[in-house]
Structure 1
């Protein structure tokens, strides 16, 4: 089992990241859909949707949404939100998506770069391309490699309730590795996260190989222009040719 298959399915993963700003996320989604000029009732896939916060909000904005995630427990949680225009399914992003062609695919909050092999990264782009209509949009919200390297905090402790998560981060080759240790329920727990530090050039090459053109890069969730030196995010907007 790969690290993301076990870690993402634990309650501790969701506890560690439960401070994520819903207001910022909803503001980002509102700005993004406005920028793309996606009319209501457009079909959108939220790829690696987690516990569905973006899918649910997109649906509230009037979009027909399919939320996909590898975590069975997350999808089971999300089923309570389903309606005629909001569906959730378990799915590995490397595999083809069995669904009618859509207007846009969103992959948000660094939900890419988990795989060891380059071919797996390419499979994601191919799968997304095959799921899109011609001229459909693919939004890949990724970390900015330069910003990560310059602002890495090697050690810190994050407290959630009665649990102290001891976090260490380091860069190993082309990956940033986050080691997570904590005590909970009378046991010692140890997990890690490993994400590739993809360059802009690499991401662009994967995209072009799968029939995309990159038409915009934003540097943060306010959709300011990307600056390689200072932007915390690298939000790529691709269009299927």
Structure 2
């Protein structure tokens, strides 16, 4: 069952079931996104990138393969333990709370694939943006790749099931008190499990207000991983470039 002694994301992300459920994520699309993004930002050759909330490190590994010095950080000890097998002289992973600044500066800080807006304390959303600002070099760029909540809410699939590796995950989605919520239930070896994902349904206006409070400047907004223009009602993603 759900662990009640910690935040939902710390418990859910630290289970093997999270990675099983999402194992079919499009790696090719992710790599294309990373290439497009680094080219657009014109990050210097061998530049330093912080992958904030890196999970098991798939984006960090690819960014390192295309020539960047990458640090991946995540709250999940299990994910970082897994990612450490890929470490080398220019790629390292550490357990770190993204609400707090990391003790280095970078040419870019990436927060990818909706790894934001989870916090029970909403002040931590602002703290995270302030931490990103603190970790940027004088010429560095911050990137938050978030879902477009307005599009998601209008196109919400309220319920479905998905079977991966013999496990059938039942998923219910709804909006409650400004949060996009997904309830996930499944049975493994006769034991029932229930987890919940909660993401604040932040809009572009919400981010603009957070950026103003944090003292960072929004430079550009894109609506998908190919860096096409953002449309409030049509784009699936909300990709924010700031410094």
TM-score (norm 1): 0.97
Q: Does 1:237 align with 2:224?
A: no
Alignment match of 1:139 (pick from 139, 143, 147): 143
Whether the aligned pair in 2 keeps the contact of 1:170 and 1:177 (CA below 8 Å) is: yes
Aligned position for 2:83:
78
Q: Does 1:42 align with 2:55?
A: no
What SS does structure 2 have at the residue aligned with 1:198?
Answer: coil
Q: Does 1:16 align with 2:21?
A: yes
Aligned position for 1:25:
30
Aligned position for 2:184:
180
Gaps of 5+ in 2: 1-5
Distance (whole Å) between structure 2 residues aligned to residue 4 and residue 189 of structure 1? 15
Aligned position for 1:68:
73
Whether the aligned pair in 2 keeps the contact of 1:45 and 1:66 (CA below 8 Å) is: yes
| Deviation by residue 1:60-104 (Cα, 9 ceiling, x = unmatched) | 1110100000000000001110011101000111122122x1110
Q: Does 1:195 align with 2:224?
A: no
Aligned position for 2:106:
102
Distance (whole Å) between structure 2 residues aligned to residue 54 and residue 114 of structure 1? 20
Residue 212 of structure 1, CA deviation: 1.3
Distance (whole Å) between structure 2 residues aligned to residue 5 and residue 117 of structure 1? 14
Alignment match of 2:216 (pick from 190, 212, 215): 212
Aligned position for 2:3:
none
Gaps of 5+ in 1: none
| Deviation by residue 1:158-185 (Cα, 9 ceiling, x = unmatched) | 1102110000000002101100000012
Alignment match of 1:161 (pick from 133, 153, 165): 165
**Aligned-residue CA RMSD (Å):** 0.8
| Deviation by residue 1:170-222 (Cα, 9 ceiling, x = unmatched) | 00021011000000122000000000001211111212222211111110111
| Deviation by residue 1:13-46 (Cα, 9 ceiling, x = unmatched) | 0000000010000011001101111122111000
Distance (whole Å) between structure 2 residues aligned to residue 116 and residue 88 of structure 1? 25
Distance (whole Å) between structure 1 residues aligned to residue 120 and residue 77 of structure 2? 22
